[in-house]
């Protein structure tokens, strides 16, 4: 179980995996894009996060697609049901906080 | 550029991660980083500093986090397993110790620093020694693999190479080998997909897969019919070449490449671990004919049958080999050799690395002695605390454990810092050295390294922690009086100091000898002018160039090269200095016949264009170079010889110029005479630290080489010149690659680098040792003087002069130093004898080194002695007594 506060990079990784299974480099690219170039996950950070998320049961290792050449096999990752659930929870929390901030600014 | 790998340095950073993490995520991280580099290069053209810094920062931070979490996991698992009293107590001890140590930062940091210095050297050297000599080679049951070769003492050739007909017989008749093969490194021009390139390949027998136990990852290995003379053109790709050149294309099987003008079908891809000695791009079948004698060339490798020793194998091969003397009488002179792969390829490094290992061990010993002194002095000050804890009922064991825990905490912190330092340091050394070693030598950190690291850390902690701990708790019992306690401690400290001085002196002497040796070698005249001399290889396809065409090419090529700006002169040679041996035998006209067992040293044969001597800066002592007509026809054949050749072959003539020599071991009926036209100074062809053989130069007209090195004497930037040279070469023949580019200065530097680096390492270690020993001496004298304040004061109160006190204290210290020096000189003589095999230009008993080092040690020690003594002599006796 990964406790709160849920690290921003965890959130972005889950988000990147929400629609499709990806390998490390593709996850990095996806996070970079969805954060408008703000969050670049360097190798050590990325793979440690992936390990943590996998240990926490939020993602799992996935088979590479059939058409990927064998010698270039990379490790793919996919969301688990728990991961999908957690992503939804976190997104709701963030949305709630954003609403509260908006209300406060008034 | 398929060979370029932008993020290679990233692997070094991965070495900082805990092994489990590195194993699990390392390859993926490396791959990701490489992808990032490529993307970056495409976008910006260069990686840039910011990018690199960010990557290093990420890796350093990541490594730290991983180590911390690994340590936490270990502690958790241990405490979870034995949640008993013991662990609670130990955890308590550690926390208590940490608190104590934080309160005394200078003391703690000093010990951590000393420990780090001691461990760093050991870790660095052990990593190298482990890679070279300890870890098994990356082949299945590698301990059964042996190197095969032939030797010919009578020709002064330690490594002759194997004649294929000998090998064929050995393989057929021997029972002590499970399998044996020949490996012959070669290279040639190739065409792949229409582009020319130079290919390094290894030619081997069809059964090499039984020796190395390799299985192709793709396709199959050679079959026996393919390894016949005139067999089909087939080859296997090495894994790296498959990746680089064919982008790991699985459809590569069945494709054809052209090597030296001959079509070769790709039948398989070798696994990544099948790298042998040198790097090669392809493996081709040997296709030798045992009935044709083609000289001695390649080396061999055998796999011993189960339970067979090297001696048994050697005996059997010798019997088979000498059984062939009736057919081939040259087998009288040659002998088969069987040795371990390590002895054959790394034997030269054994002595040097053994010595480095000893040097770092000595440094660690001195470190331990110093720390022991520190801990001991400090435990003195803590006697009260210990007494209180004893009185409150703490058992003796508990107190010893507490003191040991403190040592252990400090040792661990220091060792961790030392390990990091050592890994980085050895990485820096290895990045320069890697080229020198066979490709199967690897230096990754493994379980052996970790065991060693933990082992020496524990040993050091026990060594410097246990004695003071026992002492302190013993005193707390009140069983020994204060005076005898301090006397005993003083005796222990005296021994420590003398020992440190002895060890430091030994290291300094041996270090001084090797440094002096390395410096003298750098000054040795190589016999040619390395500055501004560069070279590269060309190989003319024999199919398109017959010998006339080759000579025409060389003439035309050299004159066009010399017309290029920046090139003063150009020449071709079969081999430039430091690049390979080609042995011939020569007989001189009128020489007294050699006896049956007289040595007939092999002669280094070089084939050169007439301009070579000027280009390479080789000086003549008599006569001069050939001209363009020498060697054109029989009767005009000429040769230039070196000074050693004059000694070995021409001692019977008065003037070597005009003497005649002929190739061969015996004089034939109709000798093909060559007239000596010049005598040059010896060129140190095999390196300035190697003996020179007799040597000759023949004009290229006499022997039209197809493959050769081009030598250029240049002014200015070599890279600019090189691009002109490439353009010119392509202009003349679009299918000729220019390869193996070298500059002579770099080659010379590279050749001596290992020697220089190890000598400076030893020198650095010995300087550290001396510093530590002096610090120890200073501390010890200060401590003794402090202990004797009362006695000194009384003596001065009753009339002793300051000078008397000064003299007495200094004398006392110098007795220890003198004792250490004598022991050290004895050890040095023994140590120097051990390393004498490494020394070329220095006598192992060089009086300057011994005298200089002894003087240095005495002066430094006397200073360390004098300072506390002066302080003692300045004591105001009344003041001091009052304080007591």
| CA-wise closest residue to B877 among B810, B783, B827, B805 | B805
pLDDT tens readout for residues B664-684: 877 777 788 899 999 999 998
Average pLDDT over residues B521-531: 87
- Across chain A, the runs of DSSP E, i.e. the strands, are 22-23, 59-62, 76-79
Q: Any residues with CB less than 8 A from the CB of A31 and at least 6 apart, and which?
A: A9, A12, A13, A15, A16, A39, A40, A41
Subunit contact A43:B248, Cβ cutoff 8 A: no
Number of CB atoms found within 10 A of residue B563's CB = 10
Instruction: Indicate the length of chain A as a whole number.
Output: 106
pLDDT at residue A63, rounded to an integer: 84
| Residue B391: C-alpha distances to residues B385, B395, B771, B871 (Å) | 10, 9, 41, 38
In this prediction, residue B606 has a pLDDT band, given cuts at 50, 70 and 90, of very high
**What's the CA angle centered on B602, arms B597 and B604, to 5 degrees?**
165
Burial (CB count <10 Å: 0-12, 13-18, 19+), residue B163: buried
Bridge partners for B269 per DSSP: B218, B237
Burial (CB count <10 Å: 0-12, 13-18, 19+), residue B538: buried
Average pLDDT over residues B252-270: 90
Q: Is the pLDDT of residue B476 over 60?
A: no
In this prediction, residue B397 has a pLDDT band, given cuts at 50, 70 and 90, of low
User: Based on C-alpha coordinates, what's the Rg of chain B?
Assistant: 34
Closest-CA distance of chain A to residue B483, Å: 59
Q: Is the pLDDT of residue B480 over 60?
A: no
Out of A25, A48, A71, whose CB is closest to B32?
A: A25
Where is pLDDT greater, at A73 or B808?
Answer: B808
Average pLDDT over residues B642-669: 88
Q: Is the pLDDT of residue B146 over 90?
A: yes
pLDDT tens readout for residues B178-208: 999 999 888 888 888 877 788 889 999 999 8
Average pLDDT over residues B756-767: 79
First to last CA, chain A: 36
Helix axes B447-476, B105-129, angle to 10 degrees: 150
State how far the Cα of B162 lies from the Cα of B329, in Å rounded to an integer. Answer: 15
State how far the Cα of A5 lies from the Cα of A18, in Å rounded to an integer. Answer: 20
Q: Any residues with CB less than 8 A from the CB of B527 and at least 6 apart, and which?
A: B577, B618, B619, B680, B681, B682, B683, B684
Nearest CA in chain A to B21: A48
A34 touching B, CB under 8 A? no
In this prediction, residue B173 has a pLDDT band, given cuts at 50, 70 and 90, of very high
Out of B10, B24, B32, whose CB is closest to A28?
A: B32
Q: Is the pLDDT of residue B597 over 90?
A: no
Average pLDDT over residues A87-103: 89
Subunit contact B59:A48, Cβ cutoff 8 A: no
| CA-wise closest residue to B398 among B389, B411, B409 | B389
pLDDT at residue B562, rounded to an integer: 93
Nearest CA in chain B to A25: B32
Kindly provide the b/e burial profile for residues B342-358, where b requires at least 16 CB atoms within 10 angstroms of the residue's own CB.
bebbbeebeebbebbbb
Number of CB atoms found within 10 A of residue B158's CB = 10
**What's the CA angle centered on B44, arms B40 and B49, to 5 degrees?**
75
pLDDT at residue B487, rounded to an integer: 66
| Least confident among B396-400, B840-844, B856-860 | B396-400
Out of B28, B54, B65, whose CB is closest to A42?
A: B54
State how far the Cα of B363 lies from the Cα of B121, in Å rounded to an integer. Answer: 8
pLDDT at residue B620, rounded to an integer: 94
Residues 50-89 of chain A with CB under 8 A from chain B are 51, 69-72, 74-75
| Residue B340: C-alpha distances to residues B146, B343, B656, B776 (Å) | 5, 5, 44, 45
Which tokens is B450 given?
Answer: 């970790």
- Mean per-residue pLDDT of chain B: 83
In this prediction, residue B477 has a pLDDT band, given cuts at 50, 70 and 90, of very low
pLDDT at residue B135, rounded to an integer: 83
Where is pLDDT greater, at B721 or B464?
Answer: B721
| Least confident among B371-385, B460-474, B766-780 | B460-474
In this prediction, residue B2 has a pLDDT band, given cuts at 50, 70 and 90, of very low
State how far the Cα of B660 lies from the Cα of B667, in Å rounded to an integer. Answer: 12
| Least confident among B146-155, B460-469, B805-814, B850-859 | B460-469
Where is pLDDT greater, at B773 or A32?
Answer: A32
Q: Is the pLDDT of residue B489 over 50?
A: yes
pLDDT at residue B865, rounded to an integer: 82
Contacts of A74 in chain B (CB under 8 A): 28, 31
Q: Is the pLDDT of residue A69 over 90?
A: no
Subunit contact A25:B35, Cβ cutoff 8 A: yes
Percent of chain B with pLDDT over 70: 91
Subunit contact B248:A71, Cβ cutoff 8 A: yes
Bridge partners for B638 per DSSP: B675
| CA-wise closest residue to B254 among B269, B272, B274 | B269
Subunit contact A51:B25, Cβ cutoff 8 A: yes
Which tokens is B372 given?
Answer: 């022991």
Closest-CA distance of chain B to residue A18, Å: 21
In this prediction, residue B474 has a pLDDT band, given cuts at 50, 70 and 90, of low
Is the CB of residue B736 less than 8 Å from the CB of residue B189?
yes
Contacts of A48 in chain B (CB under 8 A): 25, 62, 65-66
Q: Is the pLDDT of residue B475 over 60?
A: no
pLDDT at residue B479, rounded to an integer: 40
Closest-CA distance of chain B to residue A3, Å: 16
State how far the Cα of B882 lies from the Cα of B464, in Å rounded to an integer. Answer: 36
Average pLDDT over residues B311-326: 91
Q: Is the pLDDT of residue B645 over 80?
A: yes
The secondary element (H helix, E strand) that includes residue B608 is strand B603-608
DSSP class of residue B622 equals E
Out of A24, A48, A69, whose CB is closest to B32?
A: A24
Out of A42, A48, A72, whose CB is closest to B66?
A: A48
pLDDT at residue B791, rounded to an integer: 77
Query: Which of B11, B17, B24, B28 to mutate to test binding with chain A, by most A CBs within 10 Å of its CB?
Result: B28
**What's the CA angle centered on B708, arms B706 and B711, to 5 degrees?**
145
Average pLDDT over residues B223-234: 90
Instruction: Establish, for the pair of chains A and B, how many residue pairs have beta carbons separated by less than 8 Å.
Output: 55
The secondary element (H helix, E strand) that includes residue B335 is strand B335-340
> What does pTM read for this prediction?
0.65
Subunit contact B25:A45, Cβ cutoff 8 A: no
Q: Any residues with CB less than 8 A from the CB of B293 and at least 6 apart, and which?
A: B163, B165, B328
In this prediction, residue B51 has a pLDDT band, given cuts at 50, 70 and 90, of confident
Is the CB of residue B502 less than 8 Å from the CB of residue B824?
yes
**Listed ranges B159-173, B403-417, B585-599; the one with the highest mean pLDDT:** B159-173
User: Which residue pairs, CB below 8 angstroms and at least 24 apart, start in A84-88?
Assistant: A84/A18, A86/A2, A86/A6, A86/A14, A86/A58, A87/A11, A87/A14, A87/A15, A87/A18
| ipTM reported for the complex, 2 dp | 0.88
Query: Which of A38, A44, A56, A72 to mutate to test binding with chain B, by most B CBs within 10 Å of its CB?
Result: A44
State how far the Cα of B797 lies from the Cα of B254, in Å rounded to an integer. Answer: 102
The secondary element (H helix, E strand) that includes residue B21 is helix B19-44
State how far the Cα of B525 lies from the Cα of B159, in Å rounded to an integer. Answer: 27
Helix axes B396-433, B447-476, angle to 10 degrees: 150
Percent of chain B with pLDDT over 90: 24
In this prediction, residue B466 has a pLDDT band, given cuts at 50, 70 and 90, of low
State how far the Cα of B872 lies from the Cα of B789, in Å rounded to an integer. Answer: 7
Bridge partners for B152 per DSSP: B157
Closest-CA distance of chain B to residue A93, Å: 28
pLDDT at residue B10, rounded to an integer: 84
In this prediction, residue B816 has a pLDDT band, given cuts at 50, 70 and 90, of confident
Q: Is the pLDDT of residue B469 over 70?
A: no
State how far the Cα of B844 lies from the Cα of B855, in Å rounded to an integer. Answer: 18
Out of A42, A47, A72, whose CB is closest to B28?
A: A47
A43 touching B, CB under 8 A? yes
Q: Is the pLDDT of residue B83 over 70?
A: no
Number of CB atoms found within 10 A of residue B598's CB = 9
**Listed ranges B235-249, B271-285, B365-379, B595-609; the one with the highest mean pLDDT:** B235-249
């Amino acid at each position: 179980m990964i406790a709160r506060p849920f690290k921003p990079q965890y959130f972005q990784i889950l988000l990147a995996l929400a629609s499709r299974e990806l390998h490390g480099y593709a996850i990095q690219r996806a996070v970079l894009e969805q954060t408008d170039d703000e969050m670049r996950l360097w190798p050590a950070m990325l793979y440690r996060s992936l390990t943590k998320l996998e240990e926490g049961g939020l993602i799992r290792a996935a088979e590479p697609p059939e058409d990927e050449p064998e010698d270039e096999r990379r490790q793919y990752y996919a969301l688990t049901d728990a991961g999908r659930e957690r992503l939804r929870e976190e997104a709701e929390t963030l949305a709630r906080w954003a609403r509260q901030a908006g209300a406060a600014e008034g | 550029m398929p060979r370029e790998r932008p993020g290679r340095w990233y692997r070094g950073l991965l070495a900082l991660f805990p092994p489990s993490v590195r194993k699990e995520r390392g390859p993926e991280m490396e791959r990701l980083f490489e992808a990032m580099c490529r993307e970056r290069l495409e976008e910006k053209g260069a990686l840039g500093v910011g990018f690199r810094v960010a990557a290093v920062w990420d890796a350093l931070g990541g490594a730290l986090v991983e180590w911390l979490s690994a340590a936490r996991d270990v502690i958790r698992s241990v405490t979870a397993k034995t949640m008993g009293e013991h662990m609670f107590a130990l955890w308590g001890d550690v926390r208590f110790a940490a608190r104590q140590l934080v309160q005394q930062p200078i003391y703690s940091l000093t010990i951590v620093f000393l420990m780090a210095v001691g461990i760093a050297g050991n870790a660095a050297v052990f990593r190298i020694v482990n890679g070279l000599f300890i870890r098994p080679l990356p082949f299945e049951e590698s301990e059964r693999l042996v190197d095969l070769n032939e030797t010919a003492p009578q020709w002064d050739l330690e490594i002759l190479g194997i004649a294929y007909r000998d090998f064929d017989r050995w393989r057929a008749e021997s029972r002590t080998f499970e399998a044996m093969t020949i490996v012959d490194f070669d290279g040639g021009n190739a065409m792949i997909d229409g582009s020319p390139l130079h290919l390094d390949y290894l030619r081997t027998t069809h059964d090499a897969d039984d020796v190395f136990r390799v299985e192709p990852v793709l396709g199959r290995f050679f079959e026996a019919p393919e390894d016949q003379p005139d067999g089909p053109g087939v080859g296997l790709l090495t894994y790296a070449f498959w990746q680089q050149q064919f982008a790991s294309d699985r459809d590569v099987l069945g494709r054809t490449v052209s090597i030296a003008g001959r079509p070769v079908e790709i039948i398989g891809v070798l696994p990544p671990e099948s790298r042998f000695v040198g790097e090669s791009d392809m493996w081709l079948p040997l296709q030798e004919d045992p009935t044709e004698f083609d000289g001695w060339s390649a080396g061999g490798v055998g796999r011993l049958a189960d339970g067979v020793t090297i001696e048994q194998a050697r005996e059997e091969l010798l019997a088979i080999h000498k059984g062939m003397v009736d057919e081939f009488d040259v087998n009288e002179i040659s002998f088969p050799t069987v040795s371990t792969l390590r002895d054959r390829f790394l034997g030269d490094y054994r002595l040097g690395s053994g010595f480095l290992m000893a040097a770092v061990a000595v440094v660690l010993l001195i470190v331990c002695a110093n720390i022991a002194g520190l801990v001991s002095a400090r435990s003195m000050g803590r006697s009260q605390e210990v007494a209180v804890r004893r009185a409150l009922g703490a058992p003796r064991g508990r107190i010893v454990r507490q003191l040991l825990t403190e040592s252990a905490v400090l040792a661990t912190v220091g060792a961790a810092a030392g390990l990091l330092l050592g890994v980085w340091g050895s990485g820096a050394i290895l990045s320069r050295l890697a080229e020198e070693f066979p490709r199967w030598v690897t230096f990754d950190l493994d379980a052996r390294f970790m065991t060693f690291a933990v082992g020496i850390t524990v040993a050091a902690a026990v060594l410097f922690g246990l004695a003071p701990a026992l002492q302190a708790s013993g005193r707390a019992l009140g069983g020994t009086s204060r005076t005898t306690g301090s006397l005993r401690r003083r005796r222990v400290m005296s021994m420590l100091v003398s020992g440190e001085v002895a060890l430091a002196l030994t290291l300094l002497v041996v270090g001084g000898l090797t440094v002096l040796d390395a410096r003298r070698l750098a000054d040795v005249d190589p016999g040619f002018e390395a500055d501004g001399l560069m070279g590269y290889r060309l190989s003319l396809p024999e199919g398109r160039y017959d010998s006339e065409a080759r000579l025409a090419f060389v003439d035309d090529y050299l004159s066009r090269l010399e017309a290029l700006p920046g090139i003063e002169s150009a020449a071709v040679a079969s081999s430039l200095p430091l690049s390979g041996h080609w042995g011939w035998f020569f007989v001189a006209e009128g020489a007294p016949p050699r006896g049956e067992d007289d040595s007939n040293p092999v002669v280094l044969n070089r084939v050169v264009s007439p301009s070579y001597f000027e280009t390479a800066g080789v000086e003549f002592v008599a006569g001069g170079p050939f001209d363009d007509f020498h060697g054109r026809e029989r009767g005009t054949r000429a040769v230039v010889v070196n000074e050693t050749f004059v000694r070995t072959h021409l001692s019977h003539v008065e003037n070597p110029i005009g003497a005649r020599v002929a190739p061969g071991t015996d004089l034939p009926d109709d000798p093909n005479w060559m007239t000596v036209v010049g005598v040059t100074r010896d060129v140190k062809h095999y390196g300035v630290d190697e003996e020179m053989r007799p040597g000759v130069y023949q004009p290229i007209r006499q022997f039209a080489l197809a493959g050769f090195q081009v030598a250029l004497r240049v002014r200015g930037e070599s890279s600019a010149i090189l691009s002109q040279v490439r353009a010119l070469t392509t202009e003349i023949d679009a299918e000729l690659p220019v390869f193996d580019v070298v500059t002579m200065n770099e080659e010379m530097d590279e050749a001596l680098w290992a020697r220089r680096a190890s000598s400076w390492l030893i020198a650095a270690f010995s300087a550290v040792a001396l510093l530590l020993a002096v610090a120890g001496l200073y501390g010890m004298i200060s401590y003794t003087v402090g202990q004797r304040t009362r006695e000194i004061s009384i003596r001065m109160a009753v009339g002793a002069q300051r000078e008397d006190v000064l003299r007495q204290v200094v004398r006392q210290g110098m007795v220890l130093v003198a004792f250490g020096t004598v022991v050290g000189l004895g050890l040095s003589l023994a140590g120097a004898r051990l390393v004498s095999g490494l020394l070329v230009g220095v006598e192992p008993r060089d009086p300057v080194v011994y005298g200089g080092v002894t003087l240095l040690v005495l002066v430094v020690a006397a200073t360390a002695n004098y300072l506390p003594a002066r302080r003692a002599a300045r004591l105001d006796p009344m003041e001091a007594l009052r304080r007591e």
